[in-house]
Amino acid sequence: MGYSVLKNIIYEDEHIIVVFKPAGIATQTARCGQQDMVSELKNYLFQKPGAGKGEPYLGVVHRLDQPVSGLLVFARTRQAASELGRQLQNDKLKKNYYAVVCGRPVKESGRLENYLYKDSKTNHSIVADKNTPGAKKAVLDYQRVNTLMVLEESMEKEAEISLIDVSLLTGRHHQIRVQLSHAGMPILGDGKYGSPISRELGRITGCKSVALCAYRLGFWHPLTKKALSFEKKPEEEIFLPFFTTKN
């Protein structure tokens, strides 16, 4: 896989395991021969001292799109999976993302509310009318963190790219990517929902994947009920200048 799953484990006990998923790796896949986080973690658990002979249990609580990096929590018991699933359904599992978007937001912060419709045949979501059958309400808050200039001779004029902090209040298919693009803030490296300009800026800046990272994850421990919060800055190069340059 080109990375060590052990190196990416943030926290582990007998009930849960929190891990940082690199961009380009699927959370879980049925494709033969394609590695994913679930398979790698099961192999890791199987090889641990004291592990049983059978396949270890690993419950998928939530997912990240394959081109997106970030923190994930998995359940190591069915009881933990049930409790974490309940928290997810009741919006008690909190997620924050960093996104690098094209341009500068018109407002420094705001809330986006839309109705999204998912086309399962094309694995594509769109902003739809609230009365569209199958459309689900999607809500997120955002805050601009920093804005940088992109200087490139091939471009007709200077361009800006911004790092924004997104707090996800609902969990819809491709939600952040769709809503930000619809609001005029397409994410760099997003070939599915990006604009011609965001794709060009992604090429110029060397953005190799969707510039979106789930950097913070908070929830209640399924057994002890203790509040847990984990945070890890993005590793992709596209994010780094925003944390070293003040604006």
3-state secondary structure of 82: helix
3 state SS for 90-138: CCCCEEEEEEEEECCCCCCEEEEEEEEEEECCCCEEEEECCCCCCCEEE
Using a 10 angstrom Cβ sphere, with 0-12 exposed, 13-18 middle and 19 or more buried, the burial of residue 232 is: middle
Q: Is position 141 annotated as part of the catalytic site?
A: no
Catalytic pick among 13, 36, 65, 141 = 65
Rg, Å, the chain Cα set? 19
Place of tokens 């999204």: 116
The C-alpha torsion from 176 through 182 and 185 to 189, rounded to 10°, is 60
The residues assigned a catalytic role are: 65
